[in-house]
Amino acid sequence: MVAFHVMAGASGEFARPEVRKIRIGDLIDALRLGLNDFGAKPSHYVFLCLIYPITGVFLIMWSSGANLMPLLYPLMSGFALVGPIAALGLYEISRRREQGLDSSWYHALEVCRSPALPSIIAVGFMLFALFVAWLFVAQHIYTLTFGKAGLTSVSTFLLDVLTTSRGLSLILWGNLAGFVFAIIVLATTVVTFPLLLDRDVGATAAVNASIRATLANPGPVALWGLIVAALLVVGTIPIFVGLAIVMPILGHSTWHLYRKLIAAYPNRMS
């Protein structure tokens, strides 16, 4: 049954992959390996990552046209919440390259034929729910600080946010709430999707492994989250186009971080 498969994986047992302790140097090495993967065949990423600048432009146009400017920042920062889903094809390319298999761009689509696809979809729904919850929370914080009155202009809104006490309150509480959501996503998915592609262990076991990896390595995982956040901010300049480079590097690097955090099968070299 698909539901049982999602809960326990193909074997029908709740897997508990061994979690390793890592150091900050391992993060640097993961980024180096991710950069190597990106440089090996960069032609893939035009296909895989055009969605980011296109989506960014669409969100800006949509939020402006619908008078949803207060949600533009939450929408932009929400990329970090759904990023693990978007990087699935990149994990697959790194996995194949690691095994010496053909890593042509179309192999990124083989994620759709993964035996763990039901589990991947289940975790994807979890992230989407968190993304929607974040938007609701952000809207609620805005309503509490600015009220329900519509915007007169974008310039007036920006001036209020940057120069008034209620604007500073919006920035403070909004970023604090976003930080909480980011911690939840980081802890539950830091290795979840790479693990599901590598081993069909089930969604629950994969999320559990991610949480255990985070608890075993709070400092390095927190630093990894800061690195991801910083690079995503850089990638949004200008108009999200930088994400076409930043996202592939982060995606590949996350695969190599997974390799460092989760021990390989006993019968397979790490």
Say if 120 falls within a structural domain: yes
Say if 266 falls within a structural domain: no
Say if 6 falls within a structural domain: no
Rounded-to-integer distance, Cα 212 and Cα 221, Å: 11
Say if 155 falls within a structural domain: yes
Beta bridge partners of 19: 262
| Contact by Cβ (8 Å): 88, 247 | no
pLDDT reading at 249 higher than 80: yes
The answer to whether the bond into 220 is cis (omega within 30° of 0) is: no
The predicted structure's pLDDT at residue 94 = 87
Count the domains in the chain.
1
Taking the CB of residue 185, how many other CB atoms lie within 10 A of it?
A: 22
Say if 128 falls within a structural domain: yes
Say if 3 falls within a structural domain: no
Say if 50 falls within a structural domain: yes
| Contact by Cβ (8 Å): 197, 211 | no
Lowest mean pLDDT among 139-143, 176-180, 257-261, 262-266: 262-266
What number is the average pLDDT over the span 121-129? 91
pLDDT reading at 270 higher than 50: no
Say if 13 falls within a structural domain: no
Domain containing 170 equals 28-261
Lowest mean pLDDT among 17-21, 56-60, 76-80: 56-60
SS3 sequence, 105-116?
HHHHHHHHHCCC
pLDDT reading at 165 higher than 70: yes
What number is the average pLDDT over the span 239-243? 67
What number is the average pLDDT over the span 59-70? 57
More confident residue, 40 or 71: 40
Task: Compute the mean pLDDT over every residue in the chain, rounded to the nearest whole number.
Answer: 81
Lowest mean pLDDT among 125-129, 191-195, 201-205, 238-242: 238-242
List, for residues 86-124, the tens digit of each pLDDT value.
788 888 888 888 887 776 766 667 777 888 888 999 999
